[in-house]
Amino acid sequence: MEPGNDRLMAAVTTHRAGAERLRRPRPEALRDRDQLRGHGYVLGLLSACSSELCEAWATTPYASRIDAYLPEHRVDDLAALPALPGPPITQGC
């Protein structure tokens, strides 16, 4: 049985509302990013996020606090990541 268009749209609306609730940041998360940037750190984010977050990224409270954002599905396209100033930061294994 195929769902009707109304049922499908209702399911999409419910799904997006749930995704919205899950991506709300804790207040300290925003505060900490603001403090880091206030100390001159440039912040980048490589995210294994959902497609809903990718679509809504620009409207999230994080967007203005992250200098370079690259969703994991675009890792092969590193040219999409804006160049960050300063030397590269590496993390050991």
14 band by pLDDT with thresholds 50, 70 and 90: confident
Q: Are 68 and 45 in contact (CB under 8 A)?
A: yes
**Residue 65 in contact with residue 59, Cβ under 8 Å?**
no
How many angstroms separate the CA atoms of 27 and 4, rounded?
A: 40
- The reported pLDDT for the residue numbered 90 is 41
Instruction: Specify the pTM.
Output: 0.56
Domain ranges of the chain: 5-80
Who has greater pLDDT, 69 or 66?
66
